Amino acid sequence: MIFWQIFYTFFFIGCFSFGGGYAMISLIQEQVVNVHAWLSTQQFLNILAIAEATPGPLAINTATFAGFQSAGILGAVVANLGLLAPAFIIIILLAKIVGRYKDHTYFKVAFKGLRPVVVALIIGAALTLAWQGLSSFLAIILTLVAIALNLFTKTHPILLIFAFGILGLFIY
């Protein structure tokens, strides 16, 4: 039963998440923390940190860790199959349509309409995580420093993740 729930949940997430891994974060959190309670908010934040720090797409890494936490190795496999199945099916179906209608005005306009929704989903996920993850003044300061380093010095995200992980060992 748990495997069907994991598959269905991640299939649902895969069907309704446009814009990549960051756009999926809020929907994944809603399902695995709030709806199914497979993870606590703190566990989800930890999984996001690990998923961001490991190679591979964020959504796949998050599904892997959430599935594993919920039902072991088979849970991780089932979560990934569920997450990937909609994209695989949709891409197969859309490949012919895009090739035929890619220059059509309605097609172009529809995709312009999707862009603001994707941006809104990413911002919504960031605000939700910020609200839950920034529990102290020090965490807020570290976040602002990391944002500044990322924006103004173009410090590589991996370097930031490792540096702030090490910094966390000394601070906390």
Tens-place pLDDT, residues 91-108:
898 888 878 887 888 888
Q: What is the pLDDT of residue 4?
A: 96
Q: Within a domain: residue 69?
A: yes
* Residue from 13, 37, 35 nearest 25 by CA: 13
Q: What is the pLDDT of residue 50?
A: 87
Q: What's the domain count of the chain? A: 1
Q: Within a domain: residue 51?
A: yes
Which range of residues forms the domain containing residue 45? Answer: 2-133
Tens-place pLDDT, residues 147-157:
899 999 988 88
Question: Rounded to whole angstroms, how far apart are CA atoms 85 and 106?
Answer: 27
* Residue from 59, 77, 55 nearest 18 by CA: 59
Q: Within a domain: residue 154?
A: no
Q: What is the pLDDT of residue 23?
A: 75
Q: Within a domain: residue 159?
A: no
Tell me which long-range contacts 11-18 makes (C-beta under 8 A, separation of at least 24). 11/82, 11/83, 11/85, 11/86, 13/63, 13/82, 13/83, 14/82, 14/83, 14/84, 14/85, 14/86, 14/87, 15/86, 17/59, 17/121, 18/114, 18/117, 18/118, 18/121
For residue 46, pLDDT over 80 is answered with: yes
Q: What is the pLDDT of residue 19?
A: 66
Helix (H, G, I), strand (E, B) or coil at 95: helix
Q: What is the pLDDT of residue 15?
A: 87
Q: What is the pLDDT of residue 72?
A: 94
Q: Within a domain: residue 166?
A: no
**If you average pLDDT over residues 57-67, what whole number do you get?**
88
Q: Within a domain: residue 146?
A: no
Question: Rounded to whole angstroms, how far apart are CA atoms 98 and 104?
Answer: 10
User: What pTM does this model have?
Assistant: 0.60
Token digits of residue 118? 């994707």
11-15, 32-36, 71-75, 122-126, range with the lowest pLDDT: 122-126
Q: Which residue has the higher pLDDT, 130 or 163?
A: 163
